[in-house]
Structure 1
């Protein structure tokens, strides 16, 4: 084992370098004075000022954040309900269909999801007149369709390993099922809900393929703007925007990790 340790450490360092060196170089070159992103000509923060004047990028970023927040919230609600049905109700009519619908978006190519939802929205607009055109609402529906599957898997795993004796004791003491869920079940699965919300938020914020199918001219998300800009050459403003996003994501991950750590610590103290 000791002989293999240097090899394992080398593989680990190579993996981390492969993942994080491109991100680090992107952050460094966001402070480059030159417009050429591959030529360092001096330290400058002018591209952050240019970014604040770019209404197209800022508008697309704000729209993507709104869509991601709505998608994550809806996905947590729907995914939790699906996970509860699969874990707590072992046998019911339609269980197989529900399992297929929950797992299908995990393995379905995004091109197929985007095309099928586009055809669905066009047919609905023809028959009932809604949605009238494609915009923010259709993107939220499309993102929720596949993001809720990831939330359901995360919450289902947490529910499957949950100690049911706490709920049973509360029910024996006269608590109603709804109160048991909000006072006992929900706090216990809160780490899974937070993890699912962050996962759905990230998936929605990062999506390009599905959003390209279901969006209209008035709803252009940030990945679509970045992709169209990169095709003409990487702009230093894109590096500045990516640096800000990396910073915000890092802060969000640290806060979520702290919340999960406190929750796990509290649960361990209660169990002792």
Structure 2
């Protein structure tokens, strides 16, 4: 009993972690599935055809590429704007700073259905109701990703000791040199984390995208559409690849951090 009490937190943590990974394990397993019917979602046999022919349905690959394009563009724009906003909020004092901090959190706290319908109303009022598509989706994704970037980078800046920057300036470094050689490397992990979070949120979004997409189809919308008549197993291939890329990024970051500590 003593052994169990000492390790109860670890055991519960491992059980929660295992429970979290069960759906992911199902997706990986189903990517090798050879189904007898698309209507019944069950494992009927092992095959590599799903991996060898991921674009059996060309519209699915088109949707994946479109989601990646939107995700990358939204990530770049939101990361740049959000990082600048985070620096302004942490390093400067200005009128309305408290109100700005409050407004930054609103998109994160607002339900997606409210956010999506509000954006749709804005686009319609601006005369873009008949032009909903790639660019309206992009604007919507930048808007809700921006808050997450600001919060993430701001947390990194708030916890950063400015003594190194002061030391650099004492050694006659210019403000530009201090920023690029001292400040930016220290803040970069937060910026990178914010960018990865933005891309995952953009690639995964359905509700806001569905309301502002018009006739444009992203990968989540494609999955929702085909689910009504049977999900192709290639969808699980895409999910598995995205999960593998995420794990690879985390592992590479951890290996890099260990090498720097060594």
Flag whether TM exceeds 0.5 (same fold): yes
Q: Does 1:46 align with 2:44?
A: no
Change (3 A) 1:95 1:118: same
Shift of 1:243: 1.8
TM-score (ref. length: structure 2):
0.89
TM-score (ref. length: structure 1):
0.86
Matched residues in 2 for 1:245 and 1:71: separation? 18
Whether the 8 Å CA contact 1:35–1:236 is kept in 2: the answer is no
Whether the 8 Å CA contact 2:31–2:233 is kept in 1: the answer is yes
Shift of 1:191: 0.7
| Range that drifts further, 56-65 or 24-33 | 24-33
3-state SS of 2:231 partner: coil
Matched residue, 1:137: 135
Matched residue, 1:108: 110
Matched residue, 1:258: 255
Matched residues in 1 for 2:56 and 2:232: separation? 14
3-state SS of 2:131 partner: coil
Change (3 A) 1:178 1:98: farther
Q: How many residue pairs align between the two structures?
A: 259
Q: Does 1:241 align with 2:238?
A: yes
1:66 aligned to 61, 64, 69, which one?
69
Structure 1: unaligned runs, 5 residues or longer: none
Matched residue, 2:125: 123
Structure 2: unaligned runs, 5 residues or longer: none
Matched residue, 1:229: 226
Whether the 8 Å CA contact 2:153–2:194 is kept in 1: the answer is yes
Matched residues in 1 for 2:85 and 2:210: separation? 28
1:197 aligned to 195, 198, 221, which one?
195
Q: Deviations over 1:52-105 (max 9, x none)?
A: 23211100101111111111111211111111111111x311212211221111
